[in-house]
Structure 1
Amino acid sequence: MTDVDLQRPKRRREATVERLLDAALQTFAEQGFAAASVEDICSRGGLTRGAFYSSFRSKDELFEALMTREVERDLARVAELLTGLADEPDPLAAAVDRVLGAFRCDRTWALVVTEYTLHAARNPEAAEVLRRHDEQVGSRLAELVDRMAAEAGLAFTLPAADLIGAATALLSGLTLMSLTAQGDLEPLRRTALLSLVRGAVSSTPTTP
Structure 2
Amino acid sequence: MYPIQSCIVTDVDVQRPKRRREATVERLLDAALQTFAEQGFAAASVEDICSRGGFTRGAFYSSFRTKDELFEALMTREVERDLARVAELLAGLADEPDPLSAAVDRVLSAFRCDRTWALVVTEYTLHAARHPEAAEVLRRHDEQVGSRLGELVDRMAAEAGLTFTLPAADLIGAATALLSGLTVMSLTAQGDLEPLRRTALLSLVRGAVSRPPTTP
Q: TM-score, normalised by structure 1?
A: 0.96
Tell me, in whole angstroms, the C-alpha distance in 1 between the residues paired with 2:22 and 2:108.
31
Q: Secondary structure at the match of 1:35?
A: coil
Pair 74,206 (structure 1): closer, same or farther in 2 beyond 3 Å: farther
Structure 1 residue 162: Cα displacement: 0.4
1:14 correspondence with 2:22: yes
Tell me, in whole angstroms, the C-alpha distance in 1 between the residues paired with 2:30 and 2:186.
23
1:177 correspondence with 2:178: no
Q: How does 1:1-208 map to 2 (within 5 A)?
A: 1-103=9-111, 105-204=113-212
Asked whether the equivalents of residues 83 and 148 of structure 1 are also in contact (C-alpha less than 8 Å), the reply is yes
Deviations 1:129-180 (CA, angstroms, capped at 9, x unpaired): 1111111111110110000000000000010100000000000000000000
Tell me, in whole angstroms, the C-alpha distance in 1 between the residues paired with 2:182 and 2:125.
16
Structure 2 unaligned blocks of 5 or more = 1-8
Tell me, in whole angstroms, the C-alpha distance in 2 between the residues paired with 1:15 and 1:106.
24
Pair 38,184 (structure 1): closer, same or farther in 2 beyond 3 Å: same
Deviations 1:6-62 (CA, angstroms, capped at 9, x unpaired): 111110011000000000000000000000000000000011110000000010110
Asked whether the equivalents of residues 154 and 205 of structure 1 are also in contact (C-alpha less than 8 Å), the reply is no
Asked whether the equivalents of residues 166 and 208 of structure 2 are also in contact (C-alpha less than 8 Å), the reply is yes
Asked whether the equivalents of residues 154 and 201 of structure 1 are also in contact (C-alpha less than 8 Å), the reply is yes
State the identity %: 94
Larger radius of gyration: 2
Pair 110,139 (structure 1): closer, same or farther in 2 beyond 3 Å: same
Instruction: Count residues with an aligned counterpart.
Output: 208
Structure 1 residue 2: Cα displacement: 1.8
Structure 1 residue 207: Cα displacement: 18
Pair 206,129 (structure 1): closer, same or farther in 2 beyond 3 Å: farther
Asked whether the equivalents of residues 85 and 94 of structure 1 are also in contact (C-alpha less than 8 Å), the reply is yes
What is the RMSD computed on CA atoms of the aligned residues?
Answer: 2.6
